[in-house]
Structures are given as C-alpha cells and as structure tokens.
Amino acid sequence: MRNAATFLAFLAAACGAALADTLTVNNIPYTDVRVTDAVNCRVVFDIRGRSVEKDIADVNQMNLMGRTALNKAEALVKAGKASEAVDFYDTAYSQADSNWLKRLVRYRRLQALGAARMPGRAVADWLAVVDENSGSRPAVLLAPAGMGKRGSATNATAIGLLEGRLKTKNVALLARVKQMLRDLYTVEGDSAKIAMLDGGSAAGGGNGGKPVAPVAPITIASGAVAGQLKEAADQIMAGRYGAAADAIKARLDRYSTEDLATALLLRGRALHLLHTQKGGSDRAMLLEAGLCFMRIAACMEGMPEVPEALYRAGEVCRALGNPVAAQNAFRMLVNRYPDSPWAEKARAAAGG
C-alpha cells in the first residue's frame, strides 16, 4: 500500500510538471509555474504557492500550457523569425479567452513587430499599451525598436502616430517618442525634421542659427539613485535641459563615486545642449559644462564615462576658442581608449 501511494504521488507530481507553464526571465528558467495574469506590463505567475511578478521586458521566452499559437510564436522569435512569429501572435490574440491573456500576447507581440521592421503596427500597439497603463514607466519602456525601409508606408504610419504625441507632458514618454522619431527621420533622410525635433529648424530657428546636435541615448547603471538619474536622462532626451541640470546639481553631494560620474556627465551634457539651444552666448554655462567633463576625465580614471567625457571636453574647448586644448583632449582619448567608439569620433574631430 505504501509503495502504491508513493507511486501515485510521484505520478501526480510528474504529470503536474509536464502540464505546467515555463518562463525564462533574464536567462533564468522558471519551470513548474502557472501564469495567472498580465498587468501593467508585468507577467504574474504562481510558483510553489507563491505569487511572483516580473517585468515583461525581462522575459526571454515563455511556454504556456495549451497555448499552441503563442508558444509557436515564442519559439519563432527565439529562432530569429520575427515576421513569421507575428502571424502566430495574431492567431494567439484572436484565440485568447481572457483579457489578461490578450494583454500578455500584445506585450509579447511588440518585440516581434519591432524585429520584423513593422514600426507602424508596433507603435500603434505600444501607444495603446501606454494609454491603457496611464503612461507608466514599464509601459514606456516597452517601446519597440526596428525601422522599415526608407519611404515605406509602415514608417509613415509610425511617424504620424509618434508626432501626435509630441505634446505629451509625460517626460519619459516624450523622450522615447523623440528618440524613435529621430531614428525614423534618419532613415527617411529628413534632416529638417531632425533639426526641428532637437529645438532648431532647417535654417537654425530659435537657437542662433545652430541646430542642437542630436542627443545620444544615455545608459544608466543600476544603483540606489538610478531612478533619479534616469529621470534626468529622460528630461534631457525630452529637451528639458535646464530642469535636468538643476535637478542633478541639487543632489551632487549625495552621489557615490560611481553614480557621480554618470551625474556629472548628464549635467555636462544638459548644460552644453542648453547653451547651444539658447544660441551659444552664455560662456559661463559652457565653461561649467566643460568642468563637469574634465572632472570625470581627471579624477575618475577607469570609469566607463571617461571616454565620452574626454570627447565632450574637447568639443567644449573648441567652442570656447581653444583648439590646442581640444586637440589635447581628443589625443588623450585616442591614446588611452583606442577601441572606444568615442575614439573614432575624436579622430574625425581632430582631422584624422
């Protein structure tokens, strides 16, 4: 009798495992789980009687019991066949028998739409998700990547949808919208719109005839103040340079050495961009930006922000009318960090 009971228990456990859902999150597999919800761009699942939530953006792959179309789509994405995956996600969406499952499928389809270079559908889905979640940060971070071919209808659709959001008051959303528009305008070769997006116009507009240089994406490392720095980065991407610079200055004495390098780089970039946006007449503002960059270069050797700081310092020195100091900064960057992408920029700026 004991052997029979043990066997039945083993059989029940084995069957339960075989019929369970599986998730891989940040390359960590979760097996023998049951997905129960998808809310605010997070997937909710039970594991050993405990409810767990994970950002959908961190999910590498999922396999849900009995959801054949969804599982096929997930496998195709992993295999690099995004266009085929979209069709299966569409089928999974139409077959979904609950609102939470429809949300989950749409979250996952966003990745495939971007990889399949279908920005029109991708942006439409993304903005719907953003609206459903009241512009929450997890929803904004689901912004799709991938552009269509130049002159394509899908690019035109995406541009129209994104331009309709340029008046949003949501700083994080505006930063993402501008970043995506800048990428699309670049593909389309529309330099006039790029200049207008960055605060100028084709002829220079309201910044003294000097269009603001495109703002490169800013990576924020994890840490206790990562949220504050990410907020400042979003403000810069949204063109609110003064707000970003002031917010960082108010907290400078609270940052650790690691966070301080990022904070100084952000403040320097904000001041430099604000100086350009205002027509380039505020020499004190430009000097302060240069001091932020040079403090990183001189005092934070080995930090990942140093190559960019050296390049930006060279730019500032050149703008201040000191070409010798600019050449020294560029030369130092090339000598110390020859493999950095900023070294390539420095070589070009230095004339070879």
Domain ranges of the chain: 228-352
Between the alpha carbon of residue 220 and those of residues 30, 266, 288, the distances in Å are 28, 10, 22
> Above 50 in pLDDT, residue 271?
yes
pLDDT of res. 264: 92
Strands (E), 17-95: 21-25, 28-39, 42-47, 50-55, 59-63
Percent of the chain with pLDDT over 70: 86
- Topology of the domain comprising 228-352: 1.25.40
| pLDDT band at residue 9 under the 50/70/90 scheme | very low
**Tens of pLDDT along 242-264?**
888 998 888 888 887 778 888 99
> Above 60 in pLDDT, residue 19?
no
**Tens of pLDDT along 212-252?**
444 455 555 545 456 678 888 877 877 778 888 998 888 88
| pLDDT band at residue 277 under the 50/70/90 scheme | confident
